[in-house]
């Protein structure tokens, strides 16, 4: 809430415990992360640049739930590209998207 005007700036919704049907998209993103960083791999040496690169690739993946658009394209349409630049998230062309461990050099 904006303390000066009282205007609500965001809503937060919580899923009910033990109700996975309420959070399939979060689970999908978790699966994408695990495609790039398999279980058992250390996250200790990941940098912010590594995270930005990984999220850029994940958010450039086409989604059925977005009518064949990417999360990047949807966010850009709704909020503009300036905030994406500030977040250091880039659009990755669809034929260049990599959701494989070799995207990041994790030991």
Q: For 19-76, write each residue's pLDDT tens digit.
A: 777 666 667 888 899 999 998 888 888 999 999 999 999 999 999 889 999 999 999 9
d(CA 69, CA 11): 24
For the whole prediction, is pTM greater than 0.85? Answer: no
CB 29 within 8 A of CB 58: yes
pLDDT at 27: 73
């Amino acid at each position: 809430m904006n303390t000066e005007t009282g205007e609500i700036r965001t809503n937060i919704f919580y899923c009910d415990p033990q109700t996975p049907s309420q959070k399939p998209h979060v689970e999908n993103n978790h699966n994408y992360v695990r495609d790039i960083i398999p279980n058992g791999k250390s996250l200790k040496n990941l940098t912010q640049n590594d995270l930005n690169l990984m999220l850029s690739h994940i958010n450039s993946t086409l989604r059925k739930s977005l009518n064949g658009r990417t999360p990047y394209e949807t966010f850009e349409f709704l909020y503009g590209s300036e905030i994406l630049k500030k977040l250091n998230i880039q659009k990755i062309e669809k034929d260049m998207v990599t959701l494989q461990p070799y995207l990041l050099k994790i030991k």
